[in-house]
Each structure stands twice: as structure tokens, then as C-alpha cells.
């Protein structure tokens, strides 16, 4: 109990954390951007995975009553917005950038700077915001890539790679993820 409270106090220095949010022992927060408001977690949200903002930018906002499962990684260099009541299963990866430059020369420079001086304050990672609507469910081992919007109530099947927008109230699956079906009115 004491360790959990200490972790909460430490993490609260690096993010805006609602008093009713629950931070589990497996949770990690790397706010490399060093701006507390860059990461926000809402009431009754349970965080078991990792949140990370890059030095040159990035914002993560997670609504109320959400769940971020163990070994899930949410990395932002632009903006990742997660609505209310969103379930992000375990081992999910969500990225709003390429995470490294495309050019091998620039990629090596980027890597070298990270290991010698830390994350750079300026780098082009072709960022594009990610938005996840209220009541969405992201299945285990799914990957959500930059620029994607996942609509309200949508379900992403386990192991899917989401590289295009997902319409509201649909189920998508596969690599690349494709619409499997629309949810029936009683499933919404």
C-alpha cells in the first residue's frame, strides 16, 4: 500500500492525475517532454501499462473509466486522445509517429543522440495525431499507428494492425485491419 502511494506521488509530479485514477505497480510514465500537462489521466482509469511523451513534443489524454493493460505502450510525439470508458487490453502498442526517422543517416543520428545525450528536442518523426472514441475496445497485441481515428464503440480484434480509420460501432481485425462487421443496435 505504501509503495503504491509513493509511486502515485512521484508520478503525479510528471502528469495530471485525477485523484480517483488508479496507478498499478506495473505502470510506468516517461514524460521526456517534462511538461506535466502533457499527460492527463481521468477519474477511475486504471493504468497498468506505459505512457511516454517524446522530448520534442507529445500529449496523451486518457478519459474517465478507462483501462490500459499490462505491457501496453502509448507513445506520443504529437497527440493521442483516448475518450471515456475505453478498454485497452494487454500488450497493445499505440504510436502517433514513426518513432525514428526514415532516412538511415538521420535514424543513426537520432539513435546516437538518444544514447549519448538523451532524446532530441527537435526531430521530424512524421507525427500525426491518434484519436480513440468513447467506449472503444482495443484487443490484446493490437497495434494502432499514427494518424488513425478509432470511432466511438469500435472494437479492434486481437493482433490487428490498425493503419486506417475505424468507423464507429464496427469490429475490425487483421493486418491491415479491415471491417469485419457493424455492431448490431443491441451491441452498442
Active-site residues, by number, are 100
Angle in degrees, CA 146, 150, 153, rounded to 5: 160
Give me 85's grid cell: 470508458
- What DSSP assignment string belongs to 120-158? -SS-------EEE-TT-EE-TT-EE-TT-EE-TT-EE-T
Length of the chain: 188
DSSP alpha helices (H): ranges in the chain? 2-12, 104-117
- Measured CA to CA in angstroms, residue 74 lies from 39, 48, 80, 169, 178 at distances of 11, 11, 8, 23, 22
Closest CA to 80 of 102, 100, 63, 67: 63
Amino acid at each position: 500500500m505504501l509503495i503504491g502511494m509513493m509511486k502515485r506521488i512521484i508520478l503525479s509530479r510528471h502528469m495530471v492525475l485525477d485523484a480517483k485514477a488508479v496507478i498499478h505497480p506495473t505502470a510506468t510514465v516517461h514524460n521526456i517532454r517534462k511538461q506535466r500537462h502533457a499527460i492527463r489521466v481521468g477519474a477511475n482509469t486504471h493504468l497498468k501499462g506505459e505512457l511516454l511523451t517524446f522530448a520534442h513534443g507529445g500529449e496523451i489524454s486518457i478519459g474517465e473509466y478507462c483501462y490500459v493493460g499490462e505491457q501496453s505502450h502509448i507513445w506520443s510525439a504529437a497527440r493521442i486522445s483516448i475518450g471515456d470508458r475505453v478498454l485497452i487490453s494487454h500488450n497493445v502498442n499505440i504510436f502517433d509517429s514513426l518513432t525514428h526517422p526514415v532516412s538511415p543517416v538521420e535514424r543513426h543520428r537520432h539513435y546516437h543522440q538518444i544514447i549519448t545525450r538523451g532524446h532530441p528536442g527537435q526531430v521530424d518523426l512524421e507525427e500525426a495525431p491518434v484519436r480513440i472514441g468513447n467506449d472503444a475496445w482495443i484487443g490484446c497485441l493490437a497495434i494502432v499507428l499514427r494518424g488513425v481515428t478509432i470511432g466511438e464503440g469500435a472494437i479492434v480484434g486481437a493482433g490487428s494492425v490498425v493503419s486506417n480509420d475505424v468507423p464507429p460501432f464496427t469490429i475490425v481485425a487483421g493486418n491491415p485491419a479491415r471491417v469485419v462487421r457493424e455492431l448490431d443496435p443491441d451491441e452498442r
